[in-house]
Structure 1
């Protein structure tokens, strides 16, 4: 079994490498210089708020597009920059959210020739808190998981590298999104699984289950996105992306996103199932394959239930603003669920959940087949006939 699995893994590595080479995006086809704040005389600079005063700006009612505006006062903000003083008006929504003296922000500086320099609020500076949180996370992971935690951190770096250097540019350059997602996800799993969990037959069984789950998710995602008529244009960002990257297959990215989104939970489930089979085999070395499979599936069913909840809660947390708007508009959830923006997330969650559920028995079956068999009982032949007080052992 080790030889066969090694051959299969080697074949997967070769095919994935060929796929990456074939799908690698042409740098000339990837949109560049599309940042609206990178034009002549336009720059983003750091600043510190030194003064903030309420300003009556007539905010409220409905805007020209019929969307309700935030009622309240704007803010007249003064901030210091490396080149002088910046003054700008903050809209009512952001002013209501709060801006105080001493806040570190970034502003857009417009220094057009022949015109007075103007400033516009861009965002708060979040580099320090994000960096400290990332460092704390990395330290805790390594402290608790030790070498495996360190390798998991390396796996995160590999994942980000694969996304930013291969998958996302390939999407923008007009590559087949689903094929790129499957090839890229396979490559990520090959590196991440063996890095975090070591090179072993147990990790290989988890890899096989993960690849099966990826294939199922890809097929279901392609069918479900077409069946549900998901165009990929569900928000202003989607429309902007379609304009900035005309070669990108936006509707195909919807199915590709389903593959990438389900990768983490899928990996979690398959690794857990493989580990459960190995532990059960160690605890009951004489148990048959069906008994081990049944015991591991009892663990898997609990994991399925908790993972499905995880998918739903993850979406509810990320889409809290949309859900709040649904309640505020007093529109039924069933009605809103059919809109493009929410339907994408619903289909993504359901497809991911189906792939996850099916990956559990598949991974368990792989692990049972690949786990070490019960140890053979070695018998020593008698020297000269039956010995007193001993029974002759009969090999089964």
Structure 2
């Protein structure tokens, strides 16, 4: 893969032979991805129809709470967007409402006679979510500038792939593991080159990412079978077979396992490839073996931090479930090996194994792909040119 720009300093572009080898490895992977996309693309007739959100005759309306609930009936006064006053059934003590809250309610006035024609469904969150997304985009643009914009564009294209191919294919009953691999490979090809440029550095990171994805998929397939994951532990998963009879819940769990590790895997492979190139910048005469050894020191630190990053990301997302499990009088081993928690444990462990193995693979590929030493030492053992730089670092 050719450089889109020349690196400043002594590094220079990678050798033409190196770029040819990277292309020879990545072009077949891209072709296999595109062929898989074509072969697994679901027929429209196989994708189940979408289920209506509301029953015929009812509709969603936006309302604003105008006062406290009536203590006798529990009715909550609200105001429709038209300014008309109405009442809504109280959602109960677990969802406290205050005056001024903006609510999405279900209007049943045309299908049922009730004291309160409106039923609470959810809060209106479009405005705060939109402001948060805008703040995120602004921060990314201010800090990362055009590269941040390219990364957000890659993220948008990744969701296009997910919504346009992955979800319909799984609902249509296509083989879940190939769908996961095609999705992850296509997303990585698009997002990495879009965000980081068409260069040997990016190609080395992409090769390491694809290797990590293959390892994650293989280990995950074994782990899902050995741990007898059913994929039917959540309420949403149990609902799927009624609307999508062709969906394979166990396969969907395996697909989720592969996709869950994709983002963190991409992070570490890009970091390792960049570390090798930056070390070459500060040590233009260093042998490739030295670059590999020094970059692996960075990789080990990354592994150490990522191990608990992944674990605590799950803890934060599943905190209510963990609290419910803690209240049950059983041993920790029994709790971790049951139902939904076992799926998350397998997902975390498999993703972490793939991530850890991808670091030395990517570092080795990057050390081979980075431009070679500027000159060989004329005689005598070559001193370690990187050690003074790294020893001066805190």
TM-score range, shorter chain: 0.7 to 0.9
Pair member with larger Rg: 1
Offset, 1:145: 0.5
Specify the alignment match of 2:39 in structure 1: 22
Specify the alignment match of 2:62 in structure 1: 46
CA-to-aligned-CA distance 1:175-210 (integer Å, 9 cap, x gap): 111110100110000010011111100000000000
Specify the alignment match of 1:106 in structure 2: 104
Offset, 1:330: 4.1
Specify the alignment match of 1:2 in structure 2: 19
Offset, 1:112: 4.0
Extract unaligned runs of 5+ from structure 1. 58-74, 379-392
Query: What's the secondary structure of 1:52's corresponding residue?
Result: coil
Distance in 2, Cα, partners of 1:54 & 1:111: 20
Specify the alignment match of 2:184 in structure 1: 185
Distance in 2, Cα, partners of 1:336 & 1:360: 32
Q: Which moved more, 1:229-238 or 1:352-361?
A: 229-238
Offset, 1:326: 2.1
Q: Count residues in correspondence.
A: 361
Offset, 1:114: 7.4
Contact 1:326/1:333, CA 8 A, preserved across alignment: no
Could you state the TM-score of these two structures normalised by the residue count of structure 1? 0.87
Distance in 1, Cα, partners of 2:233 & 2:188: 30
Taking the TM superposition and a 5 Å limit, the aligned residue runs for 1:233-312 are 233-312=232-311
More strand by share: 1
**Pair 1:362–1:149, CA change in 2 (3 A):** same
Distance in 2, Cα, partners of 1:346 & 1:226: 14
Offset, 1:255: 0.8
Offset, 1:28: 2.0
Which of structures 1 and 2 has the larger relative contact order (alpha carbons within 8 angstroms, sep 6+)? 2
Taking the TM superposition and a 5 Å limit, the aligned residue runs for 1:118-197 are 118-197=117-196
Contact 1:232/1:251, CA 8 A, preserved across alignment: yes
Query: What's the secondary structure of 2:68's corresponding residue?
Result: strand
Q: Which moved more, 1:327-336 or 1:236-245?
A: 327-336
Contact 1:149/1:196, CA 8 A, preserved across alignment: yes
Specify the alignment match of 1:347 in structure 2: 346
Distance in 1, Cα, partners of 2:332 & 2:97: 34
Query: What's the secondary structure of 2:67's corresponding residue?
Result: strand
Distance in 1, Cα, partners of 2:169 & 2:85: 42
Offset, 1:27: 1.8
Could you state the TM-score of these two structures normalised by the residue count of structure 2? 0.87
Contact 1:40/1:112, CA 8 A, preserved across alignment: no
Taking the TM superposition and a 5 Å limit, the aligned residue runs for 1:352-371 are 352-371=351-370
